[in-house]
Structure 1
Amino acid sequence: MSGPKLTPMMAQYQKMRRSLPDDVLLMYRLGDFYEMFFEDAQNAAPILNVALTRRNSIPMCGVPYHAADAYIAKLVKAGKRVAIAEQTSEPSPGKIVEREIARIISAGSIIEAHLLDDARPNYLAAVYQMGKKWGLACVDHTTGEFTVAEFTERGPLDDELARLTPSELLYSDEQIPAFGALPAAQAYDAFAFLPDPAGQLLKDHFAVQSLHGFGCAEMHAATGAAGAILHYLIHQLRRPCEHLRSLKVREDSHLVLIDAASQANLDLIDSRSGKKHTLLGVLDRTKTPMGARLLRDWILHPLRDLAQLLERQNFIADLLEQPFILSKLRESLQGIRDVERTTARLSQGAGNARDLQALAVSLSHIPELKEDLATLTRSGDLQSPAQPRPEQSSTENPATAHGSLLTDHSSNLNDHTDLTAQLTTALAEEPPATLKDGGLIADGHNPELDELRSATRDGKQWISDLQAQERQRTGIDTLKIKFNNVFGYFIEISTAKLATATLPDDYTRKQTMANAERFITPALKEMEAKVLGSEERAKKLEYELFLELRQQVCEHLDSLQQTAAAIARLDALGSLAETAQTHRHCRPKLEASRAIEIVNGRHPVLEQTLVDEKFVPNDTAFDPEDNLLQILTGPNMAGKSTYIRQVALITLMAQIGAYVPAESATIGLVDRIFCRVGASDDLSRGQSTFMVEMNETALILNHATEHSLVILDEIGRGTATFDGLSIAWAVAEHLHDEIKCRTLFATHYHELTDLSNTRPAVTNYNVAVREWNEEIIFLRKILPGAADKSYGIQVARLAGLPKPIIERAKSILSHLELNSTKPDAKKRGPKAKNTRQNDMPESNAPQLDLFD
């Protein structure tokens, strides 16, 4: 940055720039623009698509102040961090304007509402390895959520990161080989991760002597990551963190674990076909952003805690038994804004009068919610606690389980009547987005403000009257009294009129324009001082009153966060209840067993999105003794993958406490859900389709337990026929013999159906089809027994393969079947005759060796 001697302003800029990390872009406020200079300008200009110019050989670019948010969003989306330097003093002759860095914006610390997705959390995460443990900390700076977890293996850590999808991920700069390739990752000072300073920073922040109260005192890897996050927010991003009030431990023992591949294969929250084709898309009928984010988290982190699940089921049952209350509850929630993020913004010294107004509007609906819950509670009290509801598990004690969530919600919903009234009466009906231009506070709230406003209004009326008087006095009917920031109020007369007019003696020429002259008078300047003085004092007083209101909100921070959490739970459970009501879902019976029994189960996504045909329901039954591993055969497109995913999704729904799409269901709780379906490669890691398939299969075999649910589709299809069949056979045997978990195994290897002859808990099923006039009709029904063939050629014909190819394929298939099977060829193992090219039927086409 060498060159000519810098001006005082540029010297100020350089000093400020040196205080920032090299990879942070500095947006420097100059009047109505944010300017960037030197390398920052060169880096930012192409991202922002703005002109790169030069002044005194210094590269520079700028964006308008009023449109800065859109440009900041572009920079953050491009992976940049942005420091905002604001003017902190008013311009005055001969003095440089003072400036300070107000905040540094990074992807994981955004709090501006227009830069965020309401329905998704915005996580800043940190990872740290100590010995054989991996620590993970995660904060949503927009809400105050702060969690930690520890893992004894790297795989589960990566799976949790895939579920959380943090916008920004910190790791120690001494552990670059371990974490440098993770998405959105950046190295940070290793000192911040060390357990002792990190733990002390956490204790200082929470004002505690020990972290035992948070349950993480011995989780050194996790607290190292948490301390690093706090250090990064406070010392590098210069963000206030008063709204981070607690630290929670996320324990895997209470959750159903779903690895990253299974999450993607089940289309839980994302799908190439769009959100409406995901489980979240069909369950999300939430009315508030808090509820939407919570429901998303429930789907990604199902529960294994039977008591919590029964509480959720009971609450949904109460709502369904009182549909009028359900409707009222949903209507009340409709008027509530994002209390969680609004409160967090205000507590960080951000936010504006519109945020205060949104908070007041939201809090005004709390009494309605409490009344709805009170009505629901009275309804529950009328029911006899001696008899459990028919759908409930026999393990539940209805007398204690019923109503516990109702009580919890009622006690945590704080209506803040006084605060709501104060905000409502203090704020203008439609406050502006800016804070220092007036219009924030309602008339009648503050006597001093009312007086200043009256003086301003009276003064402006006096000036308006003066214009009429001066027109009469001078005889110039086009005379105007105008105002600008440079000269204040002045009298403007066109040059043409001035040539024929005689001006009063008290007119003093102020400025000559191309087509007009500007004048002032002593009376005008005297009134100007009164008008402008009162207006500026009014704006200053309004801003001070706003700060007082914001401070009062911050004094209720804990209670507001508690209320927001209760609203989120109400909304998420209400959404599940409304879905159950709309789509005839049933309450599943939950139990601590390895059984699963589903009667007329339906795919929760397809039943809502299927257009061309009616969805066909199917039964499912697992029994540890004689029906533990189910081999499913049938043609492509018949519905095998749909069916096995359906079972996994119904099980998952049951373990978030939801009702499920079935006539009835009994779900023995699972500890993990594995889903290996489809085929894809990972070219970025140099892995073939088959290698990806084997990696996912290995993960299942190494981590599944007898309480897991495993669904597999086409294991072994990515390699040679006999290799693939052998692998599939061995995998199936291992799942049955060693792991003993509930497994749905869809395959085109019909030889696998022989396992039912040697394994007591293997059962064969097939997807029913019918042939008619060489047409194949998919019945979508799962029936006992093995399929007799795969109908691959018929499916190829449906796909549009040319007729000569279809006919040739039929000829080859007939010959292969004739030469590779005999009446006694079906053995209990993968065996087949090695058929060579010279066994192929003759064809006019050139012959190719299909097997070499």
Structure 2
Amino acid sequence: MDRFLKKSPGGAAATPPSQSSGPGNKRVLASSDSDEVPSSKKRTPSALSSGQPSQSRVQPALTHDAPAVPMAALGEQARQVSDLGFLRDKRDAQGRREGDPNFDPTTMLVKLAKGEKLTPAMEQYWNIKKDHADMVIFFKMGKFYELFEEDALLGHRELDLAFMGKDAPHCGFPEAALPKYAEKLVALGHKVGVVEQMETPAQLEERNKKRKEAGQRVDKAVRREICSVLTQGTAPPQGAQAKYVLFVCEDLPSKTLGVCFVDVATGCVSLGQCPEEDGCQKLRTLVAQLQPAEAILDGESTSREARALLQQAVASTAVLGDGRYGGAAFARKALDEGGYFGGGAAGGAGGGAAGEWPAALQAAAALSPPVAFGAFGGCLRYLQRTLLDRQLLPRAEFAQWFPTDGEGGEGAATLVVDGKTLQNLEVFANSTDGGTKGTLFAAIDRTCTPFGKRELRRWAGRVVPKERANDEYDAARRRLLEVDAGLQQELSRWRRELRDSSIELWTPSVANGQTTEPFQLAEFAQQMSSKKGTKRFWTAELRELAGEHLEAKAAEEAALAAAAKQLFARFSAQYAIWRNAVSCAAELDCLLSLARASSAAGMCRPAFVAEAEPFLHIQQGVNLCVQSALSDGQCIPNDIRMGPAPDGAGGGGEGDAARFLLVTGPNMGGKSTVLRQACLTVLMAHLGCWVAAEACSLSPVDRIFTRVGANDAIMAGLSTFRVELEETSLILKHATARSLVILDELGRGTATFDGMAIAHGTLRHLALETRCRCLFATHYHALSREFERANPHVALFHMACAVDEGSRAVTFLYRFQPGACNRSHGALSPRRRRLPAPPRDDGGASSQRP
């Protein structure tokens, strides 16, 4: 590491090299890195952004404590972008201005007007920025990453970085802080492009010698390239939640949905297509299961409903038009020419390289229309732009995706839990703050590994070497240690000659600001820099040792990079084995998690009866989500009996029982809790977990439907009543005799008589035609009168309560009992919520009128 030889500590702030030093400055002998071509010119704030060589960066005696002088006093309001014409009149690469419907925010037109000039380093910067205009560019200069113009304004505002210099916006930070600042910007929804130096100044000087000999123009700045792109979907995951990037396109004439989603961290790519329903139900379910970090849509093919759904559900959603998405034609050409799977250019769509594609890609490309393959085209273009295509695709695990309610593939053997049901049952996120507290997943998750947690989440959403020495590195390391020993000897010599044991080697990135009394060195020591209370010097011996140190350090880093490359290559050669091992460990972790959840008090093993008529019997069961959210964990248990139990299935001997339960009871009496309890119990049983009950027996369920709550979708143009009707329509179309349905206060989104008519028609269809297991909660008491007499199809139940006629106080008993409740006691409930007396009493009086 490059170092300075300096005296004792002090905490003064840095000053520009041009600032004069008073007699109180301290003595320092120093050495430093260099990151540009050697030169005798002094470094100024403008030289930093120009990339021009500066003596302070090259001479081993002088360095700077920061890229330039922080100008904290200058706020963002005092800064504006430069007067460069292309910044004042922003256009994309095709010359289109913002506001044009085809404007491409990923590119910008960089064209200098007459009289405008850029320094060599800024030419590099804008050559990169013009193709990555939608990214914040972290531009490596020496030991710092620096931001310019609009990116610097953003860095000052979001990262609290101090401006440097007095001219155009410009700020930066030490290279060690890259993960912190990149992570913060990505979390705020920005994309980050990291530009690295691809050679050292010494390598640049050597390259320029060869270029001169060949009669070529020399380069004035080290070579730089964009080496990584960080987005919300590609940044390393911070927790156990998998980070998916979802790609969507549609064929509107045939109403076919095509999707592709990739988990960059694990290299899993899934793609498939299916007929889509009105309301984008299959896409809604997939989004609820994945909870993607990013969504990319083909703007030329996706419907308005799909756009509204994703823009509402996924914070980072991009709609790409004007051919920027990719598509099937792009994917076919890129795969044929790219050689991702062991082949080169194939020259044809169906032969050559296509025969080497993974089976899932071949199957998708053969479909008509190839919508899933088009979605993969969007994925491929995204991976190319984020510089991940060569790393990920050759080693990726490709799989076909089938919707959970599909007719084939994975969907045929799973319990279908659509997106609305996942939301209504609070399987992954609660309805209070979107967190995991009180959710089913939080209640059953006992995994101990990140990949196990990811696998358990997938289950819940789809219930179905010898050591070897590296001689090159060892040699470089020994050389570096020898140089460091020489620097230590030089330090000891100066301590003896100056008779001052506080003098020490100093590194710019970890300066501790020592102070001392004024001192003047001999003529053979040359001053290289100064700041308040400090002067820094170097000698010929120190300069020579510093150069050797830099060469040894570069050799060590090169050897280490080569060793890492070999290690990664060996790992990649056995990637399939490691992937299978992780998959097995994840499955084992999930099973152990379910076992730990099942071993809790009050859990029982559910008994499935495969060949029986549809039934569900729960004895003394509780809602596990509610129980886990309560501080004492005490819930009132209830029995739920739907359908007659076959002989030997248990669950009591009361004879035949109706599959359809019509539930009434007071407001806030616990109806919704019991409805959700039935669904969660069934979901856990199909997941392979024990359930929160004394006993439970059931026949298999093919799909769970939920219609609860009052929700609208303003951005999609859907009122509360419209959402109610669409969700009810989905149930009536797809529910079978083996489904489980819960309906909570259907019809409350419109007038009372209209709502009761809709509820009555839905009730009769599900009870008499579909004959599914259903819990139907309502405040329309007229519905219960039709079924007061015992019948085999509909049974009446209610949530019990006690009413004190004197004080008009309602006591909820939270007992699920046979029979109907002829009143909802809505006018009495406001007393419990301290509604002001006048409206409360007026409402109560009105409720008593005939």
Describe how 1:479-498 pairs up with structure 2 within 5 A: 480=503, 482=505, 496=519
- The residue type paired with residue 761 of structure 1 is H
| 2:707 matched residue in structure 1 | 676
Match of 1:171 among 274, 297, 306: 297
- The residue type paired with residue 320 of structure 2 is A
In structure 2, relative to structure 1, the CA distance for the partners of 1:189 and 1:282 (3 Å cut) is farther
Matched, 1:34 2:184: no
Matched, 1:100 2:234: no
| 1:123 matched residue in structure 2 | 245
Describe how 1:129-168 pairs up with structure 2 within 5 A: 129=251, 131-153=254-276, 154-168=280-294
Match of 1:10 among 98, 101, 122: 122
In structure 2, relative to structure 1, the CA distance for the partners of 1:607 and 1:525 (3 Å cut) is closer
CA distance in 1, matches of 2:448, 2:416: 28
**Secondary structure at 2:691 match in 1:** coil
Matched, 1:510 2:633: no
The offset of 1:762, in angstroms, is 0.6
The C-alpha deviation readout for 1:524-554, integer Å capped at 9, x for no partner, is: 6776676665555444433333332232222
The offset of 1:106, in angstroms, is 2.6
Q: Is this contact kept in 2: 1:631–1:763, CA < 8 A? A: yes
| 1:325 matched residue in structure 2 | none
CA distance in 1, matches of 2:520, 2:839: 93
Give the number of the structure with larger relative contact order, counting CA–CA contacts within 8 Å between residues 6 or more apart. 2
Q: Is this contact kept in 2: 1:269–1:278, CA < 8 A? A: yes
The C-alpha deviation readout for 1:483-520, integer Å capped at 9, x for no partner, is: 6689xxxxx9987475xxxx7xxx83333777768463
Higher helix share: 1
Matched, 1:224 2:334: no
Matched, 1:72 2:182: yes
Q: Is this contact kept in 2: 1:476–1:497, CA < 8 A? A: no
**Secondary structure at 2:680 match in 1:** helix
Match of 2:594 among 555, 566, 576: 576
In structure 2, relative to structure 1, the CA distance for the partners of 1:467 and 1:109 (3 Å cut) is closer
In structure 2, relative to structure 1, the CA distance for the partners of 1:103 and 1:55 (3 Å cut) is farther
CA distance in 2, matches of 1:177, 1:90: 51
| 1:245 matched residue in structure 2 | 397
CA distance in 2, matches of 1:607, 1:630: 24
The offset of 1:205, in angstroms, is 3.7
CA distance in 1, matches of 2:289, 2:153: 36
CA distance in 1, matches of 2:486, 2:382: 56
**Secondary structure at 2:139 match in 1:** strand
| 1:826 matched residue in structure 2 | none
**Secondary structure at 1:247 match in 2:** strand
Q: Is this contact kept in 1: 2:247–2:378, CA < 8 A? A: no
Describe how 1:387-786 pairs up with structure 2 within 5 A: 418=465, 422=467, 445-446=469-470, 449-450=473-474, 453-454=477-478, 456-457=480-481, 460-461=484-485, 463-465=487-489, 467-468=491-492, 474=497, 476-477=499-500, 480=503, 482=505, 496=519, 508-511=524-527, 518=537, 520=539, 534-592=552-610, 593-611=613-631, 614-623=634-643, 626-756=657-787, 757=789, 760-772=792-804, 774=807, 775-786=809-820
| 1:289 matched residue in structure 2 | 450
In structure 2, relative to structure 1, the CA distance for the partners of 1:710 and 1:201 (3 Å cut) is farther
| 1:275 matched residue in structure 2 | 436
The offset of 1:730, in angstroms, is 1.2
Q: Is this contact kept in 1: 2:447–2:453, CA < 8 A? A: yes
The offset of 1:721, in angstroms, is 2.1
**Secondary structure at 1:583 match in 2:** coil
- The residue type paired with residue 701 of structure 1 is L
In structure 2, relative to structure 1, the CA distance for the partners of 1:727 and 1:806 (3 Å cut) is same
- The residue type paired with residue 787 of structure 1 is C
Unaligned runs of 5+ in 2: 1-85, 87-111, 206-218, 312-316, 343-353, 403-409, 510-514, 645-655
Q: Is this contact kept in 2: 1:596–1:667, CA < 8 A? A: yes
In structure 2, relative to structure 1, the CA distance for the partners of 1:526 and 1:18 (3 Å cut) is closer
**Secondary structure at 1:582 match in 2:** coil
| 2:350 matched residue in structure 1 | none
**Secondary structure at 2:597 match in 1:** helix
The offset of 1:591, in angstroms, is 3.7
Matched, 1:209 2:355: yes
**Secondary structure at 1:124 match in 2:** strand
Q: Is this contact kept in 1: 2:827–2:847, CA < 8 A? A: no
What count of residue pairs does the alignment treat as equivalent? Answer: 660
In structure 2, relative to structure 1, the CA distance for the partners of 1:191 and 1:128 (3 Å cut) is farther
CA distance in 1, matches of 2:286, 2:624: 24
Which range moved further: 646-655 or 64-73?
Answer: 64-73
| 2:835 matched residue in structure 1 | 801
Q: Is this contact kept in 2: 1:764–1:784, CA < 8 A? A: yes
CA distance in 2, matches of 1:793, 1:517: 83
**Secondary structure at 2:270 match in 1:** strand
CA distance in 2, matches of 1:234, 1:632: 56
In structure 2, relative to structure 1, the CA distance for the partners of 1:24 and 1:543 (3 Å cut) is closer
CA distance in 2, matches of 1:200, 1:651: 47
Percent identity over paired residues? 31
Matched, 1:187 2:187: no
CA distance in 1, matches of 2:790, 2:423: 34
Q: Is this contact kept in 2: 1:206–1:245, CA < 8 A? A: no
CA distance in 1, matches of 2:691, 2:144: 55
The two structures have a TM-score, normalised by structure 1, of 0.70
- The residue type paired with residue 290 of structure 2 is L
| 2:383 matched residue in structure 1 | 233
The C-alpha deviation readout for 1:79-118, integer Å capped at 9, x for no partner, is: 43332221111135773110111122232222x24xx332
In structure 2, relative to structure 1, the CA distance for the partners of 1:59 and 1:288 (3 Å cut) is same
- The residue type paired with residue 124 of structure 2 is Q
**Secondary structure at 2:564 match in 1:** helix
**Secondary structure at 1:85 match in 2:** strand
| 1:788 matched residue in structure 2 | 822
Which range moved further: 626-635 or 547-556?
Answer: 547-556
**Secondary structure at 2:736 match in 1:** coil
The offset of 1:142, in angstroms, is 1.2
Root-mean-square deviation over aligned CA pairs: 3.5
CA distance in 2, matches of 1:471, 1:170: 63
CA distance in 1, matches of 2:609, 2:577: 36
In structure 2, relative to structure 1, the CA distance for the partners of 1:286 and 1:79 (3 Å cut) is same
**Secondary structure at 1:778 match in 2:** strand
Q: Is this contact kept in 1: 2:327–2:376, CA < 8 A? A: no
In structure 2, relative to structure 1, the CA distance for the partners of 1:612 and 1:805 (3 Å cut) is farther
CA distance in 2, matches of 1:197, 1:166: 24
